[in-house]
Amino acid sequence: MMRYIKLVNFEINRFSKIYLSLLLITLVSQFAGVIIVTKSLLNDARDIMKEERLSEAAYITNYGSIDFNHIANSLLFVGPIALSAVALIFYIFLIWYRDWFGKNTFIYRLLMLPTSRLSIYLSKATSIFLMVLGLIAFQIIILPMENALFNSNVPEALLSEMSISTITIANPILSLIIPSTFTQFLISYGIGLMIMSILFTAIMFERSFRIKGFIMGLLYCGIAAVLFLAPVLMEIGNFYFYPNELFGLMLAIGIILTGLSVWLGAWLLKNRVTV
Protein backbone atom coordinates (compact mmCIF):
# COMPACT_ATOMS: atom_id res chain seq x y z
CA MET A 1 0.00 0.00 0.00
CA MET A 2 2.81 2.43 0.86
CA ARG A 3 4.44 1.84 -2.52
CA TYR A 4 1.13 2.51 -4.23
CA ILE A 5 0.69 5.77 -2.28
CA LYS A 6 4.26 6.80 -3.15
CA LEU A 7 3.56 6.12 -6.82
CA VAL A 8 0.39 8.23 -6.69
CA ASN A 9 2.31 11.06 -5.02
CA PHE A 10 5.08 10.71 -7.60
CA GLU A 11 2.64 10.94 -10.53
CA ILE A 12 0.90 13.99 -9.06
CA ASN A 13 4.23 15.73 -8.47
CA ARG A 14 5.23 15.14 -12.10
CA PHE A 15 2.17 17.07 -13.28
CA SER A 16 2.14 19.59 -10.45
CA LYS A 17 3.55 22.59 -12.37
CA ILE A 18 1.02 22.26 -15.19
CA TYR A 19 -1.72 21.52 -12.67
CA LEU A 20 -0.96 24.63 -10.62
CA SER A 21 -0.87 26.64 -13.84
CA LEU A 22 -4.39 25.41 -14.68
CA LEU A 23 -5.61 26.46 -11.23
CA LEU A 24 -3.98 29.89 -11.60
CA ILE A 25 -5.42 30.38 -15.11
CA THR A 26 -8.87 29.44 -13.81
CA LEU A 27 -8.59 31.83 -10.87
CA VAL A 28 -7.32 34.81 -12.86
CA SER A 29 -9.54 34.31 -15.92
CA GLN A 30 -12.77 33.81 -14.02
CA PHE A 31 -12.28 36.73 -11.66
CA ALA A 32 -11.22 38.88 -14.61
CA GLY A 33 -14.38 37.70 -16.35
CA VAL A 34 -16.52 38.79 -13.42
CA ILE A 35 -15.02 42.27 -13.48
CA ILE A 36 -14.86 42.76 -17.27
CA VAL A 37 -18.26 41.26 -18.14
CA THR A 38 -19.98 43.05 -15.26
CA LYS A 39 -18.53 46.39 -16.35
CA SER A 40 -19.60 45.74 -19.94
CA LEU A 41 -23.14 44.79 -18.89
CA LEU A 42 -23.50 47.91 -16.73
CA ASN A 43 -22.14 50.17 -19.49
CA ASP A 44 -24.60 48.67 -21.98
CA ALA A 45 -27.46 49.09 -19.51
CA ARG A 46 -26.56 52.73 -18.84
CA ASP A 47 -26.26 53.46 -22.56
CA ILE A 48 -29.70 51.96 -23.25
CA MET A 49 -31.30 53.83 -20.34
CA LYS A 50 -29.71 57.08 -21.54
CA GLU A 51 -30.72 56.63 -25.19
CA GLU A 52 -34.25 55.46 -24.47
CA ARG A 53 -34.67 57.62 -21.36
CA LEU A 54 -35.61 54.66 -19.20
CA SER A 55 -35.63 54.40 -15.47
CA GLU A 56 -33.98 51.37 -13.85
CA ALA A 57 -37.42 49.82 -13.27
CA ALA A 58 -38.40 50.39 -16.91
CA TYR A 59 -35.10 48.91 -18.09
CA ILE A 60 -35.70 45.74 -16.09
CA THR A 61 -39.24 45.49 -17.47
CA ASN A 62 -37.98 45.79 -21.07
CA TYR A 63 -34.61 44.03 -20.92
CA GLY A 64 -34.58 42.02 -17.71
CA SER A 65 -32.30 42.21 -14.71
CA ILE A 66 -28.61 41.31 -14.58
CA ASP A 67 -27.68 37.96 -13.02
CA PHE A 68 -24.62 35.73 -12.72
CA ASN A 69 -25.65 33.68 -15.75
CA HIS A 70 -24.12 36.41 -17.91
CA ILE A 71 -20.78 35.70 -16.23
CA ALA A 72 -21.08 31.90 -16.18
CA ASN A 73 -21.78 31.81 -19.93
CA SER A 74 -18.85 34.04 -20.87
CA LEU A 75 -15.67 32.76 -22.51
CA LEU A 76 -13.50 34.04 -19.68
CA PHE A 77 -15.45 31.86 -17.24
CA VAL A 78 -16.05 28.73 -19.33
CA GLY A 79 -12.71 28.83 -21.20
CA PRO A 80 -10.48 27.76 -18.27
CA ILE A 81 -12.86 24.89 -17.44
CA ALA A 82 -12.66 23.64 -21.03
CA LEU A 83 -8.88 24.11 -21.05
CA SER A 84 -8.51 22.08 -17.84
CA ALA A 85 -10.73 19.31 -19.22
CA VAL A 86 -8.72 19.11 -22.45
CA ALA A 87 -5.43 19.14 -20.50
CA LEU A 88 -6.50 16.23 -18.30
CA ILE A 89 -7.81 14.24 -21.27
CA PHE A 90 -4.46 14.81 -22.99
CA TYR A 91 -2.69 13.76 -19.78
CA ILE A 92 -4.43 10.35 -19.90
CA PHE A 93 -2.15 9.66 -22.88
CA LEU A 94 0.83 11.70 -21.71
CA ILE A 95 1.01 9.91 -18.35
CA TRP A 96 1.95 6.71 -20.22
CA TYR A 97 3.72 7.88 -23.37
CA ARG A 98 5.96 10.33 -21.55
CA ASP A 99 7.53 7.35 -19.78
CA TRP A 100 8.33 5.67 -23.10
CA PHE A 101 9.39 8.67 -25.16
CA GLY A 102 11.03 10.85 -22.52
CA LYS A 103 14.75 11.56 -22.53
CA ASN A 104 15.63 8.69 -20.17
CA THR A 105 12.92 6.19 -21.23
CA PHE A 106 11.67 6.19 -17.66
CA ILE A 107 9.28 3.27 -18.23
CA TYR A 108 12.21 0.85 -17.97
CA ARG A 109 12.97 1.97 -14.44
CA LEU A 110 9.28 2.12 -13.54
CA LEU A 111 8.52 -1.42 -14.66
CA MET A 112 11.60 -2.75 -12.84
CA LEU A 113 10.40 -1.46 -9.48
CA PRO A 114 9.87 -4.19 -6.85
CA THR A 115 6.12 -3.70 -6.84
CA SER A 116 3.09 -5.07 -8.64
CA ARG A 117 2.52 -3.61 -12.09
CA LEU A 118 -1.13 -3.32 -11.10
CA SER A 119 0.00 -0.70 -8.57
CA ILE A 120 1.65 1.26 -11.41
CA TYR A 121 -1.55 1.07 -13.45
CA LEU A 122 -3.80 2.09 -10.55
CA SER A 123 -1.49 4.86 -9.37
CA LYS A 124 -1.70 6.58 -12.75
CA ALA A 125 -5.50 6.23 -12.81
CA THR A 126 -5.79 7.45 -9.20
CA SER A 127 -3.58 10.49 -9.77
CA ILE A 128 -5.69 11.65 -12.72
CA PHE A 129 -8.94 11.11 -10.80
CA LEU A 130 -7.61 13.03 -7.78
CA MET A 131 -6.56 15.92 -10.01
CA VAL A 132 -10.04 16.02 -11.54
CA LEU A 133 -11.59 16.14 -8.07
CA GLY A 134 -9.09 18.84 -7.09
CA LEU A 135 -10.12 21.06 -10.00
CA ILE A 136 -13.79 20.57 -9.15
CA ALA A 137 -13.15 21.36 -5.48
CA PHE A 138 -11.25 24.50 -6.49
CA GLN A 139 -14.18 25.63 -8.66
CA ILE A 140 -16.61 25.01 -5.79
CA ILE A 141 -14.43 27.12 -3.48
CA ILE A 142 -14.02 30.14 -5.77
CA LEU A 143 -17.55 30.19 -7.21
CA PRO A 144 -19.15 31.79 -4.08
CA MET A 145 -16.36 34.41 -4.06
CA GLU A 146 -17.02 35.25 -7.71
CA ASN A 147 -20.75 35.46 -7.06
CA ALA A 148 -20.16 37.78 -4.09
CA LEU A 149 -17.88 40.01 -6.20
CA PHE A 150 -20.51 40.16 -8.93
CA ASN A 151 -23.30 41.03 -6.48
CA SER A 152 -21.21 43.80 -4.92
CA ASN A 153 -20.50 45.43 -8.31
CA VAL A 154 -24.06 45.45 -9.70
CA PRO A 155 -26.50 48.10 -8.39
CA GLU A 156 -29.22 46.51 -6.31
CA ALA A 157 -31.94 47.90 -8.59
CA LEU A 158 -30.55 46.01 -11.60
CA LEU A 159 -29.37 42.89 -9.76
CA SER A 160 -31.05 39.50 -9.74
CA GLU A 161 -29.21 37.54 -7.05
CA MET A 162 -28.68 33.84 -7.62
CA SER A 163 -27.72 31.15 -5.13
CA ILE A 164 -24.77 28.87 -5.89
CA SER A 165 -27.08 25.89 -6.44
CA THR A 166 -29.18 27.91 -8.90
CA ILE A 167 -26.04 28.99 -10.77
CA THR A 168 -24.75 25.44 -11.12
CA ILE A 169 -28.13 24.09 -12.25
CA ALA A 170 -28.70 26.91 -14.77
CA ASN A 171 -25.30 26.53 -16.46
CA PRO A 172 -24.87 23.29 -18.49
CA ILE A 173 -21.11 23.05 -17.95
CA LEU A 174 -21.28 23.75 -14.21
CA SER A 175 -24.18 21.31 -13.79
CA LEU A 176 -22.03 18.66 -15.50
CA ILE A 177 -18.90 19.13 -13.39
CA ILE A 178 -20.73 19.99 -10.14
CA PRO A 179 -23.71 17.59 -9.98
CA SER A 180 -26.56 18.69 -7.73
CA THR A 181 -27.03 15.24 -6.12
CA PHE A 182 -24.70 12.48 -4.98
CA THR A 183 -26.35 10.07 -7.44
CA GLN A 184 -25.60 12.42 -10.33
CA PHE A 185 -22.03 12.73 -9.05
CA LEU A 186 -21.60 8.95 -9.10
CA ILE A 187 -23.08 8.74 -12.60
CA SER A 188 -21.00 11.58 -14.10
CA TYR A 189 -17.68 10.60 -12.58
CA GLY A 190 -18.39 6.89 -12.86
CA ILE A 191 -18.70 7.37 -16.63
CA GLY A 192 -15.49 9.39 -16.53
CA LEU A 193 -13.67 6.55 -14.75
CA MET A 194 -15.04 4.06 -17.27
CA ILE A 195 -13.80 6.15 -20.22
CA MET A 196 -10.38 6.58 -18.61
CA SER A 197 -10.04 2.82 -17.98
CA ILE A 198 -11.04 2.08 -21.60
CA LEU A 199 -8.45 4.55 -22.92
CA PHE A 200 -5.80 3.09 -20.60
CA THR A 201 -6.53 -0.36 -22.02
CA ALA A 202 -6.35 0.97 -25.59
CA ILE A 203 -2.92 2.43 -24.74
CA MET A 204 -1.80 -0.94 -23.33
CA PHE A 205 -2.90 -2.63 -26.56
CA GLU A 206 -0.82 -0.17 -28.58
CA ARG A 207 2.22 -0.56 -26.31
CA SER A 208 1.92 -4.36 -26.44
CA PHE A 209 1.42 -4.87 -30.17
CA ARG A 210 2.40 -1.49 -31.70
CA ILE A 211 0.61 -0.97 -35.07
CA LYS A 212 -1.65 -3.99 -34.62
CA GLY A 213 -2.24 -2.87 -31.06
CA PHE A 214 -3.28 0.61 -32.21
CA ILE A 215 -5.98 -0.95 -34.38
CA MET A 216 -6.96 -3.32 -31.55
CA GLY A 217 -7.22 -0.34 -29.19
CA LEU A 218 -9.48 1.55 -31.58
CA LEU A 219 -11.66 -1.54 -31.99
CA TYR A 220 -11.80 -2.00 -28.23
CA CYS A 221 -12.92 1.62 -27.72
CA GLY A 222 -15.55 1.25 -30.45
CA ILE A 223 -16.91 -2.03 -29.08
CA ALA A 224 -17.00 -0.61 -25.54
CA ALA A 225 -18.92 2.47 -26.75
CA VAL A 226 -21.44 0.35 -28.63
CA LEU A 227 -21.95 -1.96 -25.64
CA PHE A 228 -22.44 0.92 -23.22
CA LEU A 229 -24.88 2.70 -25.53
CA ALA A 230 -26.65 -0.51 -26.55
CA PRO A 231 -29.73 0.09 -24.33
CA VAL A 232 -30.13 3.60 -25.78
CA LEU A 233 -29.69 2.29 -29.32
CA MET A 234 -32.28 -0.40 -28.62
CA GLU A 235 -34.75 2.29 -27.50
CA ILE A 236 -34.15 4.16 -30.75
CA GLY A 237 -35.04 0.90 -32.47
CA ASN A 238 -38.45 0.93 -30.73
CA PHE A 239 -37.42 -1.46 -27.94
CA TYR A 240 -38.83 0.29 -24.88
CA PHE A 241 -37.26 0.31 -21.40
CA TYR A 242 -38.66 1.91 -18.27
CA PRO A 243 -36.33 4.65 -16.95
CA ASN A 244 -35.20 2.51 -14.01
CA GLU A 245 -34.53 -0.42 -16.33
CA LEU A 246 -32.50 1.75 -18.71
CA PHE A 247 -30.49 3.20 -15.83
CA GLY A 248 -29.91 -0.25 -14.33
CA LEU A 249 -28.75 -1.73 -17.64
CA MET A 250 -26.34 1.11 -18.35
CA LEU A 251 -25.03 1.00 -14.78
CA ALA A 252 -24.40 -2.75 -14.99
CA ILE A 253 -22.72 -2.45 -18.40
CA GLY A 254 -20.61 0.47 -17.16
CA ILE A 255 -19.39 -1.47 -14.12
CA ILE A 256 -18.60 -4.52 -16.24
CA LEU A 257 -16.73 -2.46 -18.84
CA THR A 258 -14.74 -0.63 -16.16
CA GLY A 259 -13.81 -3.86 -14.38
CA LEU A 260 -12.94 -5.61 -17.65
CA SER A 261 -10.85 -2.66 -18.84
CA VAL A 262 -8.88 -2.45 -15.59
CA TRP A 263 -8.27 -6.21 -15.57
CA LEU A 264 -7.31 -6.38 -19.25
CA GLY A 265 -5.11 -3.28 -19.09
CA ALA A 266 -3.31 -4.56 -15.99
CA TRP A 267 -2.90 -8.00 -17.58
CA LEU A 268 -1.37 -6.51 -20.71
CA LEU A 269 0.96 -4.35 -18.63
CA LYS A 270 2.08 -7.40 -16.65
CA ASN A 271 2.32 -10.01 -19.41
CA ARG A 272 2.73 -8.26 -22.73
CA VAL A 273 4.51 -4.95 -22.05
CA THR A 274 8.19 -5.73 -21.63
CA VAL A 275 11.27 -3.71 -20.74
pLDDT digits (tens, 9 = 90+) for 56-115: 888 888 888 999 999 999 999 999 999 999 999 999 999 888 878 766 667 777 778 777
Contacts of 130 (CB under 8 A, 6+ apart): 8, 12
Each residue's pLDDT tens digit, 190-235: 999 999 999 999 999 999 998 999 999 999 999 999 999 988 888 7
Planar angle of CA 210, 214, 215, nearest 5 degrees? 125
Each residue's pLDDT tens digit, 171-180: 999 998 998 8
DSSP label at residue 241: -
DSSP label at residue 114: S
For residues 138 and 148, the answer to whether their CB atoms sit within 8 Å is no
Percent of the chain having pLDDT more than 70? 97
Question: Is the pLDDT assigned to residue 7 strictly greater than 70?
Answer: yes
**Confidence (pLDDT) at 73:** 93
Contacts of 213 (CB under 8 A, 6+ apart): 205, 206, 207
**Confidence (pLDDT) at 232:** 83
Max mean pLDDT among 29-43, 178-192, 236-250 falls in 29-43
Rg, the chain, Cα only = 24
Please report, as a single letter, which amino acid is at residue 1.
M
For residues 162 and 68, the answer to whether their CB atoms sit within 8 Å is yes
**Confidence (pLDDT) at 106:** 72
> Range with the lowest mean pLDDT among 49-58, 141-150, 252-261?
49-58
The half-sphere exposure of 220 on its side-chain side, counting CA atoms within 13 A, is: 26
